[in-house]
Amino acid sequence: MIGHGPYFSARLDSLDSPALLVFPKLVEQNIINALKLLQGAKTRLRPHVKTVKCKEVVQMALRHGIDRFKSSTISESELLAVAGVKDVLLSYQLSAIKAKRFEKLRRLFPKTEFSSLIDNLDSAKLLSGIFREHPMDVFVDVNLGMDRTGILPGKVLDLVNGCAGLPGIRIVGLHGYDGHVHSPDLDNRRAQSTRHFEEMKRLKKGVEAYLGNKIKLILGGSPTFALYSQKDEVECSPGTFFFWDAGYKNNYPELPFVPAALVLMRIVSITNSRLLCFDLGSKAIAADPPQPRVEILHLENQRIVGQYEEHLAVTVPDTSKFKVGECFLGIPYHICPTVNLYEQMEVIEENGPEKIWTVPARNRKITV
């Protein structure tokens, strides 16, 4: 199964498992294809670093002219600043403790422009006090239907009005995450994303009229960002496109991305004539989606029947074809939390030296 195709490497037999493998050429091709989707458009990329959590991919994107990013944690924000990113939006509402950490990060990296989100007046007042001496840009987070965070669209102007005169913060834009728009049907996704864009455009116009200046608009994840490509002045924030995964591959075949981070596993036991056991337990791959959580390459008629902390049980028609110790590669169904399980990724390059990429932003704290 590892003797051909884009994932071939003579190194695999020498690597311990489970392991997370990254294929830099495929990552770079995904970056190029993302930029091609937006070619000639006014839409700009502001990728989310939550998927990759490593400096090397960020630097690869920088070399292709992507100059702004999104993050979810202080650690991810620090990683971006270390990599040399000039514009970092922490797309999370700050608690008092996180805001103090964020202010320290701003002092350590004065060449990076940092911003964060607000969706209520209490949070705005908190940030106003902490950032009074060194005002910070904020985006109003709008709930478009994800029902996770964000203020309802009808209350956006009330919040903006409530922030008037607050020192320490400057409202510079609106942020909306449309993660609930994930239908495999392209027409359905297009219709939903169009409605959200029109609503955000209307809100943007109202806020600009109130403030008397232009503001930014951030909208769109991996399944939808290409649909905003012909819209005016939108920044899109996909993250999964860097590595892609089996879930997105199967649901969005029209998008030009390929899985670029895979898991290495081995058969550790042949239980009976139909049951194989692999060393890919729930500690080695994202456990949030229902089974299947991994698409095992070159394993015909596979069916996952059980997963435990260190084991994955899979049925096949005939186990006599396999050997204990045999290597297989798998495409995770959800790559973002899978990356978060690994301290490092094994870099797989044709005829390249042994190399690893560390995943420092999986930690809750790097230095700040």
Report which secondary-structure segment, H or E, holds 345. Answer: strand 344-347
- 239-256 mean pLDDT: 97
- Residue 46, pLDDT > 90, answer yes
DSSP for residue 48: B
Asked whether the domain spanning 24-245 has the same topology as the one spanning 12-20+260-361, the reply is: no
Contacts of 123 (CB under 8 A, 6+ apart): 93, 94
Check whether domain 12-20+260-361 has CATH 2.40.37.20, yes or no: yes
Tokens of 75: 């650690």
pLDDT digits (tens, 9 = 90+) for 275-319: 999 999 999 999 999 999 999 999 999 999 999 999 999 999 999
Per-domain residue ranges of the chain = 12-20+260-361, 24-245
CATH architecture of residue range(s) 24-245: Alpha-Beta Barrel (3.20)
- 349-355 mean pLDDT: 83
Contacts of 309 (CB under 8 A, 6+ apart): 281, 282, 283
Banded model confidence at residue 1, pLDDT cuts 50, 70, 90: very low
| Integer Cα distance of 261 and 128 in angstroms | 41
- Residue 351, pLDDT > 80, answer no
| Integer Cα distance of 69 and 48 in angstroms | 6
- Residue 252, pLDDT > 60, answer yes
pLDDT digits (tens, 9 = 90+) for 85-134: 999 999 999 999 999 999 999 999 999 999 999 999 999 999 999 999 99
Q: What is the dihedral of CA 225, 228, 233, 234, to 10 degrees?
A: -30
Tokens of 318: 């005939």
The pLDDT of residue 2 is 52
| Integer Cα distance of 14 and 264 in angstroms | 11
Q: Considering the chain, what percentage of its residues have pLDDT values greater than 90?
A: 92
Query: In the Cβ-directed half-sphere of 25, how many Cα atoms lie within 13 Å?
Result: 8
φ/ψ of residue 147, rounded to 5: 55, 45
Instruction: Tell me the C-alpha to C-alpha distance, in Å, between residue 298 and each of 72, 198, 330.
Output: 35, 45, 9
Looking at 241-315, which runs of residues are DSSP E strands? 261-270, 275-278, 294-296, 303-307, 312-315
Q: Is 20 helix (H, G, I), strand (E, B) or coil?
A: strand
